[in-house]
Amino acid sequence: MRTSGRPDAAYIHVPFCAHHCGYCDFAVTAGQDHLIELYLDALGVELATLGHPRPLNTLFLGGGTPSHLDAAQLRRLFAHLDRWSPREPGAEISLEANPDSFDADKAQILADLGVNRVSLGVQSFHADVLRVLERQHEPRHVVPAVLAAQRFIGRVSLDLIFGVPGQTLAMWADDLRRVIDLGPEQISTYGLTFEKGTRLWKQQRAGGVTALDEDSELAMYQHAMEALEAAGYEQYEISSFAKPGGRCRHNEVYWANEPFFGFGVGAAAYVDGTRTLNVRNTQDYIKRVLSGEPAAFQSETLEGEESARETLTLNLRRAEGVHRNEFHTQTGFEVNALAGPAIAKHVAAQLLIDDGTSVRLTRTGRCVADSIVIDMMG
């Protein structure tokens, strides 16, 4: 676990989408493909602020929909990355994609550019669920996209969403069976959240959709843990299940609270103890960067106990939990000095395990992780 120094991980945000899904709260730009070339210009300028090439061990291209870019645009994007962020031998290069914008031709192009891991936003195999989420792809798009990724890229991660209005436990169990049958290295399961300001949130407020009750959501999450474990997937983080050797190394950087670069509209970065966040509007980002202004509009430096508590809560997301010696080395604080009473309370309630070496969530504890985290913050 690295505690300081320049990052060897970077996130690149590609905001362009064919359609902005109703539940999505990310920095997304839909129906404005005429901005792509200018955006790539700006990304090149922002990357140049590194001053000199920074070799990377992990690179993650998220969105938006990076696979929405055409072949020439992808090559141009990776030319910038090759210039400023060369990859170390064995580096993990991940890219997010949607099933309807990913085929064998796109997979071949990405493989030639060095991408060795693809994360596909499947979300569900049920048309009714996809309709509520306002996803553009159809169930029939999923299998060809997965097979193309497996053939040309190799490592594949599939995302699913549970707790969608109208979704039943039987539908969710069917989704899990189908992704397991496809044999991806990783499966991520996310409970639907109604993010303020999104179309789905507005629909809920207006009574157009009704959120699933907590008991139904809990039953879905518990079923996912049981079914994926039975299929040979290890739950290595609250939402992430992987086959042996299939973990996302880039995301593990986040959960260990290690430093990382972030480039592009809405991208976050954590460098030298300071977190920054770039502007979330694509046109504002292009204008700022191409005029020589910083892309970031928000900055926060956490020190001492605040930083240590943040590390504690992020570490708790991992199956390994908080390793006492590593935590002390990273933060300079003892775990018990920060959260001893909270740990004891949750151990007594069988929500945490404390074996003296590490503190980690039990299976039941994973279901109420948010409330445990609040306690840990003091």
Residues 29 and 155 in one domain: yes
Whether 293 maps to a domain, the answer reads no
| Best-predicted range by mean pLDDT (91-95, 192-196, 212-216, 309-313) | 91-95
Section 112-132 average pLDDT: 97
Q: Is the dihedral of CA 60, 20, 199, 276 positive or negative?
A: positive
Shared-domain flag, residues 208 and 126: yes
**pTM of this structure:** 0.94
- Domains identified in the chain, total number: 2
What would the mean pLDDT of 90-98 be, rounded to a whole number? Answer: 97
pLDDT at 5: 64
Q: What is the mean predicted confidence (pLDDT) over 178-187?
A: 98
State yes or no: pLDDT of 213 exceeds 90. Answer: yes
Do 89 and 237 lie in one domain? The reply is: yes
Report, as an integer, the average pLDDT of 310-338. Answer: 93
Q: Is the pLDDT of residue 377 over 90?
A: no
Residues 211 and 82 in one domain: yes
* Pair (200, 340) in one structural domain: no
The pLDDT of residue 1: 43
* Mean of per-residue pLDDT scores for the chain: 94
Q: 237 with 330, same domain?
A: no
Q: For 159-174, what is the mean pLDDT? A: 97
Of 255, 282, 298, the last residue of a domain is 255
Asked if residue 290 is part of any domain, the answer here is no
The pLDDT of 240-244, averaged and rounded, is 97
Residue 302 included in any domain:
no
Q: Is 180 part of any domain?
A: yes
Residue 195: give the domain boundaries: 9-255
Given 226, 255, 284, which residue is the final one in a domain? 255
**pLDDT over threshold 60, residue 4:** no
Q: What is the mean pLDDT of residues 109-113?
A: 97
Mean pLDDT over residues 112-134, rounded? 96
**CATH code: domain of residue 359:** 1.10.10.920
**In the prediction, which pLDDT does 375 show?**
85
Could you tell me if residue 166 is inside a domain?
A: yes
Band of pLDDT at residue 3, cut at 50, 70 and 90: very low
